Structure 1
Amino acid sequence: MSAPPRHPVIAMRDVEKVFRADGIENHVLTGIHLEVRHGEFLAIAGPSGCGKTTLLSLMGLLDVATGGDVAFEGVQVNGLGRQARARLRNERIGYVFQAFNLIGDLDVLDNVALPLTYRAGVGRQERRKRVMEALDDVGMTHRMHHFPSQLSGGQQQQVAVARALAGDPAILLADEPTGSLDLAGAERIMALLRRLHAEGRTICMVTHEERYRWAADRTVRLLDGRVVDESSYAQWQREAASGFDDRGFVERFT
């Protein structure tokens, strides 16, 4: 029996993100303390504009925190250079975007293979093997020679998941993976993510859809760039439904 991992996949301590433009500071995230453990399915929930996508971008090394500490599998990433961050992202992180981000001129096979072409030590045969396994995982091998324009939205998202899985990442990050889908397509994607988690995958999903939180082991709530507890969030929902200003809520409960 293997020993449990020494470090969480992602650990954030007092993280903040500030965007500056024309001398104005916009504090998007403030005082974030968060861990994602191996084998966990974590949902990050909250209303639009609360900082969910920014948080996921920091977790996925697509952006750099303004302050605080971010560690990936025990490695501090704050001081890593651009190339080191890109290599870590390519080798250990799978990212699923709401808008799919497939390349229209490439068929399904080549779209899924694309990230592996930038990975050292993965030859053509190994790349093909990984791609076929990933497509089989999401049930899309029968569409491998089709182009994105020939697929439904749900099928394109399945291909995007396969692309993220092909590199065998330590964590799968999904940013509103159902946001561009109809109800049937969204349900298929959620069933797929739930199955992948049951098979041992570590998943972190951003969503503003309350009905999709059921798939996760744990939910972290964001409001105005801060983590809040369930009771505070429930009160915000009640008061927001009555026209309450959520900024006033943040001042009272954070």
Structure 2
Amino acid sequence: MRSPKSTPVIEMHGVGKVFLAGAIENHALTDIHLVIGRGEFVAIAGPSGCGKTTLLSLMGLLDTPTGGALLFLGEDIAGVGRRQRAALRNAHVGFVFQAFNLIADMTVAENVALPLAFRRDMGRRERIARAADALASVGMAHRMSHYPGQLSGGQQQRVAVARAVVGEPAILLADEPTGNLDLRNGETVMTLLSRLHAAGTTICMVTHDDRFSAACDRTLRLLDGRVVDEATFWQLKREAECGIDERRTTEIFP
């Protein structure tokens, strides 16, 4: 039997996700098999519409699969209700979004402490102390009393990272965290994520930027809702760029 420390954060076995639009089925993900181990830094890459954000939503317990098995910290999510999923998500998952998603009329410290408001065993003083520590870890302690509108885009994203890690989650999920930033600020955020990973944080990041995915331990390549190997991914990408029709995809995925 695996010990809690050796249990992967996420396991997927034959996972699929189908969205229904009337009588039409949209197979967003098909037959996904993957394991995210503790302390890994994993990139998820692929073209727009290939299922990256859907996969991240399943990992973060924001949605449930329509097929296969999803295990979170060793627990099969199939038997977990919505309220319990929310509790698991609040306790063990940190999110960083492309659009920052900070609340404009709350201070930086209040934004960062917000996820801790649902921790019934934690008083206000401890929440403030945790928020201060998280902000210090991203170099934003001097901006605690400012509001999001008073910060640059790069600073807002650093605050968003602090909010994501303030609860010491089992995994940090980042959806295009550099997508709304210029090159310099994007590199700053990526350096920050790499530093958090070096300190032991498990991170899974969606990115279109191969420079950033190269800094990760490994990259999951998604194409048409499936995980494919590197050679297949780049072969199909070259064919698509050369204008070759999509019948080749059908040959590989019958």
**TMscore range, shorter length:** over 0.9
Amino acid at match of 2:88: L
2:233 counterpart letter in structure 1:
Y
Q: Does 1:77 find its partner at 2:77?
A: yes
Cα distance in 2 for residues equivalent to 1:228 and 1:148: 39
Letter in 1 for 2:24: I
Match of 1:6, SS?
coil
Q: 1:89: which partner in 2?
A: 89
Identify which range, 224-233 or 210-219, moves more after superposition: 210-219
Q: Which residue of 1 aligns with 2:17?
A: 17
Q: Distance in 1 between matches of 2:248 and 2:157?
A: 36
Residues 41, 217 of structure 1: 8 Å contact kept: yes
Residue 79 of structure 2: SS of its match in structure 1?
A: coil
The DSSP-based 3-state class of the residue aligned with 1:208 is coil
Report if aligned partners of 2:50, 2:225 keep a CA contact under 8 Å in 1.
yes
Map Cα deviations across residues 59-105 of structure 1 (whole Å, 9 max, x no partner).
Answer: 00011111111111101112211110000000001011111111111
Q: Which residue of 2 aligns with 1:251?
A: 250
Measure the CA separation in 2 of the matches of 1:249 and 1:12: 27
Which residue does the alignment assign to 2:155?
155
Does the CA contact (< 8 Å) of 1:108 and 1:148 recur in 2?
Answer: yes
Contact 2:6 2:38 in 1 (8 A): no
Measured after TM superposition, the shift of residue 250 of structure 1 is 2.5
Q: Do 1:10 and 1:36's aligned partners in 2 also have CA atoms closer than 8 Å? A: yes
Is structure 2 residue 201 aligned with structure 1 residue 201?
yes
TM-score by length of 2: 0.96
Moved more, 142-151 or 220-229: 142-151
Return the alpha-carbon distance in structure 1 between the equivalents of residues 252 and 32 of structure 2. Answer: 15
CA positional deviation for 1:209: 1.5
Shift of 1:5: 1.9
Question: How many Å apart are 1:231 and its aligned residue?
Answer: 0.5
Higher deviation after alignment, 116-125 or 159-168: 116-125
CA distance in 1 between partners of 2:4 and 2:231 (Å): 32
C-alpha distance after superposition, 1:173-194 (max 9, x if no partner): 0011011111111110100011
CA–CA separation in structure 2 for the residues paired with 1:19 and 1:75 = 24
For 1:98 and 1:250, locate their aligned partners in 2 and report how far apart those are by CA, in whole Å.
30
Q: Match for residue 192 of structure 2?
A: 192
1:198-251 alpha-carbon deviations (Å, 9 max, x no partner): 111110001122121122001110001000000001111211221234x43431
Give the structure 2 partner of residue 138 of structure 1.
138
Separation (CA, whole Å) in 1 of partners of 2:189 and 2:213: 13
Q: Which runs of 5+ in 1 are unaligned?
A: none
Q: TM-score, with normalisation over the residues of structure 1? A: 0.96
Alignment of 1:45-60 (within 5 A): 45-60=45-60
Q: Distance in 2 between matches of 1:173 and 1:244?
A: 35
Match of 1:116 in 2: 116
In the alignment, the residues of structure 1 paired with residue 117 and residue 42 of structure 2 have an alpha-carbon distance, to the nearest angstrom, of 29
Q: What is aligned with 1:104?
A: 104
Find the residue that maps to 1:145 and give its secondary structure. Answer: coil
Measured against aligned partners, the alpha-carbon deviations of 1:27-79 in whole angstroms (never above 9, x if no partner) come to: 00000001100010001110111000000000000111111111111011122
How many residues in Structure 1 have an aligned counterpart in Structure 2? 251
Aligned to 1:42: 42
Cα–Cα, structure 1 residues 150 and 244, in superposed 2: closer, same or farther, change >3 Å? Answer: farther
Given that 2:107 and 2:145 are in contact with CA atoms closer than 8 Å, whether structure 1 keeps it comes out as yes
Distance of 1:24 and 1:8 partners within structure 2: 35
Give secondary structure in 1 for the equivalent of 2:6.
coil
| Cα distance in 2 for residues equivalent to 1:90 and 1:4 | 19
Query: Which one is further off, 11-20 or 205-214?
Result: 205-214
1:178 counterpart residue number:
178
Cα RMSD between the aligned structures? 1.2
1:46 to 1:202, Cα distance in 2 relative to 1, 3 A: same
User: Displaced runs of 4+ in structure 1, greater than 6 A?
Assistant: none
Letter in 2 for 1:251: T
- Write the distance in 1 (CA, Å) between the matches of 2:243 and 2:111: 45
